[in-house]
Copies of this chain bind each other. A is one copy, B any other.
């Protein structure tokens, strides 16, 4: 998917919501555990109930890998379902991969070719030659960790490196990489005020913003500091939406939570 197609979808749906599909078998409604594939059954119902309210889904690979082969199968069924039933949706494999060149190419093949995701999240610690292999894929997007939403972000990311914070060095350096136009960035919502500075470095790029809701981030603040002319934001909510209820009404309740966010987003877009 091209960035232009993503922006078009945002305008059409008046939403820049991304729903995180972090499926934990201990948290989904108990009646689903009788299904042959409880994870996929859960995802399918959530997707069917919310696809008109969001522009992206983001399965976090950890939650699938934890269930071994069955988990990987559920991930495959989920992305195939999205690509066949809702091809307009932007799909994110939240995998936070990154390794030396030939290995990153294998990860890129896994998520872009084999699973056919539109994008994948990557970690920057290993530098240019660990990220550029992902950037080489046309119309695919590499979402690199910039400033994350967890407490540990302050361990290294905000440390001063040659006069500026490490995460700013990471953002600036990444702009010099080949095919850097295929980069998006993860920036946590819990640090909304940092977004103004970030926008000075990467004014055009899309930002994937986790941490709204369960982690305490505020949507209004994120938009105030982070929005650009093409919106440029994907706001992720996972637990706040998918675990709105653990009864039989879970999909409907998830849709209500997604609707609340979409309504707030539509208001912001029309302001």
Number of interface residues of A (CB under 8 A): 59
A246 surroundings in chain B (CB, below 8 A): none
Among A145-153, A194-202, A253-261, the stretch that binds chain B is: A145-153
Among A3-11, A46-54, A108-116, the stretch that binds chain B is: A108-116
Q: Is the CB–CB distance between B127 and A151 below 8 Å?
A: yes
Instruction: Tell me if A155 counts as interface (CB < 8 A to partner B).
Output: yes
Q: Mark A30-50, 1 if CB is under 8 A from B, else 0.
A: 000000000000000000000
A130 surroundings in chain B (CB, below 8 A): 150, 152
Instruction: Tell me if A268 counts as interface (CB < 8 A to partner B).
Output: no
Known A124-B156, A152-B129: A65·B166 in contact at CB below 8 Å = no
Q: Is the CB–CB distance between B96 and A66 below 8 Å?
A: no
Q: Is the CB–CB distance between B162 and A159 below 8 Å?
A: yes
A154 vs B127: C-alpha distance in the bound complex, in angstroms?
Answer: 7
Known A60-B99, A68-B114, A76-B68: A156·B129 in contact at CB below 8 Å = no
Q: Is the CB–CB distance between B106 and A65 below 8 Å?
A: yes
Q: Mark A114-155, 1 if CB is under 8 A from B, else 0.
A: 110000000111111111000000000000010011111111
A129 surroundings in chain B (CB, below 8 A): 150-152
Q: Quote the shortest CB–CB distance from A22 to chain B (angstroms).
A: 7
Identify A126's interface contact among B106, B115, B145, B170, CB under 8 A: B145
A154 surroundings in chain B (CB, below 8 A): 127
Copies in the complex: 2
Q: Is the CB–CB distance between A62 and B97 below 8 Å?
A: yes
Q: Mark A81-104, 1 if CB is under 8 A from B, else 0.
A: 000000000000010111111011
Instruction: Tell me if A173 counts as interface (CB < 8 A to partner B).
Output: yes
A104 vs B130: C-alpha distance in the bound complex, in angstroms?
Answer: 21
Q: Is the CB–CB distance between A104 and B161 below 8 Å?
A: no
Q: Is the CB–CB distance between B156 and A169 below 8 Å?
A: yes
Q: Quote the shortest CB–CB distance from A190 to chain B (angstroms).
A: 11
A sample of 6 inter-chain contacts (CB < 8 A) reads A62-B104, A101-B150, A125-B157, A126-B157, A159-B161, A160-B162
Known: A60-B99, A126-B157. 13 other contacts (CB 8 A): A22-B103, A63-B106, A65-B111, A68-B115, A69-B72, A71-B110, A94-B99, A96-B97, A96-B99, A100-B148, A127-B150, A156-B173, A159-B169
A residues in contact (CB < 8 Å) with B: 22, 24, 60, 62-63, 65-69, 71-73, 76, 94, 96-101, 103-104, 106-107, 109-111, 113-115, 123-131, 145, 148-157, 159-162, 166, 169-170, 173
A-B pairs with lowest CB-CB distance, top 3: A127-B152, A127-B155, A65-B110
